[in-house]
A and B are shown apart, each in its own frame.
Chain A
Amino acid sequence: MSVRTVRKTRGVVGESVRRVDGVPKVKGQFLFGSDLWAEGMLWGHTVRSPHPSARIRSIDISKALARPGVAAVLVAQDVPGKKTYGLEFADQPVLAWDRVRYAGEPVTILAAVDPETARRAASLINVDYEILPAVTDMEQALRPDAPKVHDFGNILRHIRIEHGRSAKADVWVEGYYETGMQDQAPLGPESGMAIPAEDGGVDLYVATQWLHVDREQIAPCLNLPLEKVRLHLAGVGGAFGAREDVSMQIHACMLALRTGRPVKMSYTREESFYGHVHRHPAHVWMRHGARRDGTLVYVYARLVLDGGAYASSSAAVIHNAATFAAGPYEVPNALIEATCVYTNNPPCGAMRSFGAVQAAIGYEAQMDKLAKALGMPPIQLRLKNVVSPGSVLPTGQVIRGSAPVRELIRRCAAIPLPPEEPAERRDPLSLPGGAGNVSRGERLKRGVGFAVGYKNIAYSGGFDDSAEARVRLFRGPGGAIAEVHSAAAEVGQGIHTVLVQIARTELGIEHVVLHPPDTNVGSAGSTSASRQTMMSGGAVQLACQAVKKDLFARVRRWAQAEGRTVPEPLTVEGGMVLAAGEPLAPIEEFLETPIEQTRVYHHRPTTPIDEKGQGEPHVSFGFAAERAVVEVDEELGLVRVVQIAAAQDVGRALNPQGVYGQIEGGTAQGLGFALMEEIQLKDGLIKNASFTDYLIPTILDMPPVVSELIEEPEPGVPFGAKGVGEMSTIVSTPAIVAALRSATGRELNRIPVRPDDLIGLSPPVTSPGPPPSPEVPGPEPIPKYVGLAAGQAILGGTE
């Protein structure tokens, strides 16, 4: 056997590797879901309810069906199987019958030869509605006389966490906070194409976050066995939680199966705002008590979240809001009550750091209030109270993993502040509203705010979270090649690059290719909850290790046959098998036949919380701190965020450049929530379903983000790496709002903060007090008590 010199494998874990999808995306060659096309395909179209609450008296589709070019018009009676679906609970009709519960709810679908024909045919469908009273206020939904959104009532889930007992404190602070409905605003609309197959099944190409949970929901509705519903990941143009739920998937499959032709559906921008879930608006009441020296002794938190018309992932969202309500602080005594309600507003569900965002806006404002009441610097108060390994959380859970929160705070606070130059010497463009030429620096106030936050990584509450990966090592023309087959959805965050890095690291070869993600391999779980690096990364690592084990067995068999002694240990590096560190032979020499292994990674089991909110609900935590510097024009209410200093607990950065990108992107989304992003609802109707009116920050709104990565490996997870996608979103909003408070001296207790609030035209929001706790059978979601489980509950093995 020939022997080459060994060089280090490049592009491994820990390097800032160029993204595998980077070049095609930059060049415009990457195909997104909305770019799908097939010969002879039809275009699907959805007809939606214009009313937030109504009874359907009748639907007349005859005129639309008679229109030339229309291939099918389908209503609820045409759903071949189960009539409802849902990510956690099947409470949402595939197509509404009898009742509609939100404006935008799909009522009929149709397929036509082109989008214009489809749109015109849609306008010929006549749905006769009897308008019913709607409940569009989350607190109103809790009242006994409120209209019922579902037959079983308006409570979706209520959680009560009792920790310690009531306590005496030297200083008490109270606060009431409201947060608006944020949208994920992915640039790619909901898109996919269903192609009927000869076996009576269907192939669906779709931009989604979790292929297998989509299939779990689609197949029963189509009355098909799982194996006849094959999903393939189409190019995803951003997700942020918006693609956790099924949107056009079942509809496109129904139309394809009915017409026998490929059916493409791609929502318009306006429809996209109705076609996916949003971030839950929240009302938050908090009371914090501390001793004179700053030691936190008691936290009371009451949260109400508006889940909208259907459950989506609300049960998990309220679970996070409740379990993180006290923040990353040691609190010996806490009472937390959190309720998610159904209303006739658009459904709310997953969005980056769900639940943790709403909680952090409350608890970080409270920590600042407490610091002020104690006359203590806000950072010092946080340093005094933050959790560390061994800390007990209000659920009774002990933090077992890494929690370098003090170092995080110190490193964040140590980032140099931006210089404060006299306004007249500065470029007017750099001043608040500077792009509008409005300021020469008059009435400019600078403020600094700080926030710490945390959330869970991967799934919680007893869900058996798992991910599968298949790795095939074979001989290619230029040496050994590894093919990684994982169903993990690349949604722009960079998981595919990380999976390739892990395979390179484990197998010691640089040539790693990805099999397109589909349902021919087992579930990877969702690209959400900052979990894919840990879960699918773990699965790829396990599969690679199994492949390597087979490879080494071949090496030893070869040595035995050759009558040679091969010194142990065997390793791989730079395409070579090494024996006791010395090159032995190129890997491909042992690949006469390929080696293939499939492995499933599970994380340590968690438990559901009990009646008193006690348990071990989370497996791992990621922490972040940010400091925001803002400038406010006190007369115009305009804001410029001058700098964000960020520190994040990442365990270990597998692709540092990717980690920085996640911190910056998450910060931008949090900045948007602090200053401009809100779906404006009036009586259940969305008033700003466009990117003209739903404002997201542009590059001109973003300050420099100076990031510090805190690398303290998490024990028991692959490479010690923590998920990193969400934590900056938790802290950037409260840090910016704290900075605005410090600049203006105003209370600013409603997010997003509007210009009106900053110049005192609208007063702080007030509340007469928290609503009474609802009577519930227990801490589980109400739909579970009424037997509605579906979707990921099956995949998680809890059914």
Chain B
Amino acid sequence: MKPAPFRYVAPRSVDETLALLAEHGAEGKILAGGQSLVPLLNMRLARPQVIVDINGIRSLAYIRRKDDHLHVGALTRQRAVEESATVRRQVPLLWEAIRFVGHPQIRTRGTVGGSLAHADPSAELPAVAAALDAELVVRSPSGERALSPGEFFAGYLTTALEPTDLLTEIRFPLLPERTGTAFVEVARRHGDFALVGVAAVVRRSDGTIAEARLAFTGVGPGPVRARGAEGRLAGSAGTSRVFADAAREAAARLDPESEIHATAQYRRDVAATLARRALELAWQRSGGRTR
């Protein structure tokens, strides 16, 4: 199928974009990489009156370090992140996860901001943002604000973005020394939507877990942080037993849904295994030895 008719505008700047969004309100829709929007248009699941194509705004595509954050412009292609030595060195969790986004063809067009703003419940990047406590910078006619993942992700395919808002930048905090991260996911085939994915961050202090963070994707309406398990891990010894118990506790609190590719029970069961493996891998990468 082809999309329903729409008006097409291609602003050259953020200010121009904001003005257009303010003009069209809920009738306008931002086109970034188009990897989610175009199928929705073609299947006529979305019928915006106006497409605001921001691909011409070069100033929104960048990867740069600023103080203790890595700033990634919202229009940065996923492929650019994957190929960035800076990302690989500074935010390895983002680098590891981005390769699970679709296929190379998709990542070549798809953008970091687009994936976050689309907020697919099985997407990788929202879980990465959640696990890293990234800041999501939003511009609106009234100014700029930075949202935490908890504030930004509002539910199934829903964010805190108003129709007049533009996500412009994502700020990933750089992790301190002796911190390891891991992203793992289960899909039926390579490149398929994740049935369950887990992002883990573990900071080590000798044989003890100083801090741990765990975020799931594919098991809820949006990314799910396992705060209870994180609290339990902090201060514990980095042993297989501790990781397994925390992973089980985290999975037990999940409420995934059944669909044709996986039962809820499989998702919950596998979430526990994945969380344990992700935590252990992150721990090893922090320099810790598993006992």
- Residues of A participating in the B interface, judged by any CB pair closer than 8 Å: 116, 119, 268, 433, 435-440, 442, 635-638, 676, 680, 687-688, 693, 695, 697-698, 700-701, 755-756, 759, 761-762
Residue contact A635 to B273, C-beta cutoff 8 Å: yes
**Nearest-Cβ distance from residue B173 to partner chain A, whole angstroms:** 23
B274 CB–A CB distance under 8 Å: yes
B261 CB–A CB distance under 8 Å: yes
- Find chain A residues with CB under 8 A from B191 CB: 435, 698
**Nearest-Cβ distance from residue B179 to partner chain A, whole angstroms:** 18
- Find chain A residues with CB under 8 A from B189 CB: 435, 676, 695, 697-698, 700-701
**Bound: A761/B270 CA distance, A:** 11
Residue contact A693 to B261, C-beta cutoff 8 Å: yes
- Find chain A residues with CB under 8 A from B194 CB: 436
Residue contact B188 to A637, C-beta cutoff 8 Å: no
B144 CB–A CB distance under 8 Å: no
User: Which residue from B2, B197, B262, B266 sits with its C-beta under 8 Å from A116?
Assistant: B2
- Find chain B residues with CB under 8 A from A756 CB: 262-263, 265-266
- Pairs across A and B, CB under 8 Å, 15 listed: A116-B2, A268-B1, A435-B189, A436-B184, A436-B194, A437-B184, A442-B277, A687-B260, A698-B191, A700-B189, A700-B190, A701-B190, A755-B186, A755-B266, A756-B262
Given contacts A438-B277, A636-B273, A761-B265, contact A433 B186 (CB under 8 A): yes
Residue contact A435 to B260, C-beta cutoff 8 Å: no
* Chain B contacts with A in 175-205, Cβ cutoff 8 A: 182-192, 194, 197
For B, the interface residue count at a CB cutoff of 8 angstroms equals 29
Given contacts A436-B100, A437-B185, contact A759 B190 (CB under 8 A): no
**Bound: A119/B263 CA distance, A:** 35
Closest B-chain residue to A442, C-beta based?
Answer: B277
B96 CB–A CB distance under 8 Å: yes
**Nearest-Cβ distance from residue B104 to partner chain A, whole angstroms:** 13
Residue contact A437 to B261, C-beta cutoff 8 Å: no
Question: What 18 additional pairs, Cβ within 8 angstroms, besides A680-B260, A755-B188?
Answer: A268-B1, A435-B189, A436-B100, A436-B184, A436-B185, A438-B184, A438-B185, A439-B277, A440-B277, A440-B281, A635-B270, A695-B192, A698-B191, A700-B189, A700-B190, A701-B190, A755-B266, A756-B266
What does DSSP make chain B's interface, helix, strand, loop or mixed?
mixed
**Bound: A436/B194 CA distance, A:** 9
Closest A-chain residue to B103, C-beta based?
Answer: A698
- Find chain A residues with CB under 8 A from B183 CB: 437
B16 CB–A CB distance under 8 Å: no
Closest B-chain residue to A693, C-beta based?
Answer: B260
B255 CB–A CB distance under 8 Å: no
Closest A-chain residue to B183, C-beta based?
Answer: A437
- Find chain B residues with CB under 8 A from A268 CB: 1
- Find chain A residues with CB under 8 A from B186 CB: 433, 436, 438, 636, 638, 755
Residue contact A688 to B273, C-beta cutoff 8 Å: no
B269 CB–A CB distance under 8 Å: yes
Closest A-chain residue to B277, C-beta based?
Answer: A438
**Bound: A438/B276 CA distance, A:** 10
* Chain B contacts with A in 250-266, Cβ cutoff 8 A: 260-263, 265-266
**Nearest-Cβ distance from residue B270 to partner chain A, whole angstroms:** 6
- Find chain B residues with CB under 8 A from A433 CB: 186
**Bound: A687/B184 CA distance, A:** 28
**Bound: A367/B2 CA distance, A:** 53
User: Which residue from B192, B269, B277 sits with its C-beta under 8 Å from A759?
Assistant: B269
Closest B-chain residue to A439, C-beta based?
Answer: B277
- Find chain B residues with CB under 8 A from A701 CB: 189-190
**Nearest-Cβ distance from residue A626 to partner chain B, whole angstroms:** 22
CB-CB nearest 4 A-B residue pairs: A435-B190, A635-B273, A436-B185, A438-B184
**Nearest-Cβ distance from residue A13 to partner chain B, whole angstroms:** 39
**Bound: A756/B185 CA distance, A:** 16
User: Which residue from B2, B96, B260, B270 sits with its C-beta under 8 Å from A636?
Assistant: B270
- Find chain B residues with CB under 8 A from A700 CB: 189-190
- Find chain B residues with CB under 8 A from A676 CB: 188-189
Closest A-chain residue to B265, C-beta based?
Answer: A761
**Bound: A168/B166 CA distance, A:** 79
Closest B-chain residue to A755, C-beta based?
Answer: B266
**Bound: A646/B183 CA distance, A:** 37
- Find chain A residues with CB under 8 A from B277 CB: 438-440, 442
**Bound: A637/B196 CA distance, A:** 13
Closest B-chain residue to A697, C-beta based?
Answer: B189
Closest A-chain residue to B270, C-beta based?
Answer: A636
Residue contact A761 to B184, C-beta cutoff 8 Å: no
Residue contact B184 to A688, C-beta cutoff 8 Å: no
**Nearest-Cβ distance from residue A744 to partner chain B, whole angstroms:** 15
**Bound: A116/B1 CA distance, A:** 7
**Bound: A656/B133 CA distance, A:** 58
**Nearest-Cβ distance from residue B240 to partner chain A, whole angstroms:** 10
**Bound: A695/B260 CA distance, A:** 11
Interface string of B78-104 (1 = CB under 8 A from A): 000000000000000000100010000
- Find chain A residues with CB under 8 A from B269 CB: 759, 761
Residue contact B184 to A698, C-beta cutoff 8 Å: no
Q: Please indicate which of the listed interface residues A119, A635, A638, A701 has the most CB atoms of chain B within 10 Å of its own CB.
A: A635
Q: Please indicate which of the listed interface residues A436, A636, A698, A759 has the most CB atoms of chain B within 10 Å of its own CB.
A: A436
**Bound: A34/B179 CA distance, A:** 55
- Find chain B residues with CB under 8 A from A762 CB: 263
**Nearest-Cβ distance from residue B14 to partner chain A, whole angstroms:** 34
- Find chain B residues with CB under 8 A from A759 CB: 266, 269
**Nearest-Cβ distance from residue B219 to partner chain A, whole angstroms:** 15
**Bound: A700/B277 CA distance, A:** 23
- Find chain A residues with CB under 8 A from B188 CB: 676, 695, 755
**Nearest-Cβ distance from residue B181 to partner chain A, whole angstroms:** 12
**Bound: A296/B289 CA distance, A:** 56
Closest B-chain residue to A436, C-beta based?
Answer: B185
Residue contact A438 to B274, C-beta cutoff 8 Å: yes
Closest B-chain residue to A687, C-beta based?
Answer: B260
- Find chain A residues with CB under 8 A from B274 CB: 438, 636
- Find chain A residues with CB under 8 A from B262 CB: 755-756
Q: Please indicate which of the listed interface residues B183, B189, B194, B263 has the most CB atoms of chain A within 10 Å of its own CB.
A: B189
